[in-house]
């Protein structure tokens, strides 16, 4: 399993996405049933992360720090793990040599990829 897949799993992406596809056919006569799967398939990333942050004894700033985001998800936040994730997501080679630049690139890219996979990420975080 890829590192990014672990992030998706921790946030509940993909859970139940196959079941709603069959629902609209069964409920074709009920137009109110159609919008429900759309709401279910979107993952409220901010609400989930804020909930985790509220329960966490550490003061983690997941909105700006990839290290804090990974810690909040209880994933490996070591430099080696972040480098692996950066390579997996296609980080430019010039940023890989500078951990600060890599971290900024990685944080932005992870949030963008979460949004691309159905997560609702506010534009100010992208």
Q: Where are the domains of the chain?
A: 3-15+42-125
Tell me, what's the pLDDT at 24?
Answer: 41
pLDDT tens track of the chain, all 126 residues?
899 999 999 998 876 544 333 334 444 444 444 333 334 457 889 999 999 999 999 999 999 999 999 999 999 999 999 999 999 999 999 999 999 999 999 999 999 999 999 999 989 888
How much is the pLDDT for 39?
41
Is this model's pTM higher than 0.85 or not? no
For 100-124, b where at least 16 C-beta lie within 10 A, e where not — what string?
eebbebbbebbbeebbeeebebeee
Burial of 1 (0-12, 13-18, 19+ CB in 10 A): exposed
pLDDT of residue 33: 42
């Amino acid at each position: 399993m890829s590192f990014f897949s672990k992030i998706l799993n921790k946030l509940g992406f993909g859970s139940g996405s196959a079941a709603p596809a069959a629902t609209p056919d069964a409920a074709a006569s009920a137009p109110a049933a159609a919008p429900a799967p759309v709401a279910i398939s979107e993952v409220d990333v901010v609400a989930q992360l804020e909930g985790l942050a509220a329960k966490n004894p550490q003061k983690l700033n997941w909105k700006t720090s990839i290290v804090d985001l990974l810690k909040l998800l209880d994933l490996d936040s070591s430099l080696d793990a972040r480098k692996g994730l950066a390579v997996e997501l296609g980080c430019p080679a010039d940023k890989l040599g500078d951990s600060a630049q890599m971290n900024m690139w990685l944080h932005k890219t992870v949030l963008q990829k979460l949004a691309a996979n159905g997560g609702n990420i506010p534009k100010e975080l992208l």
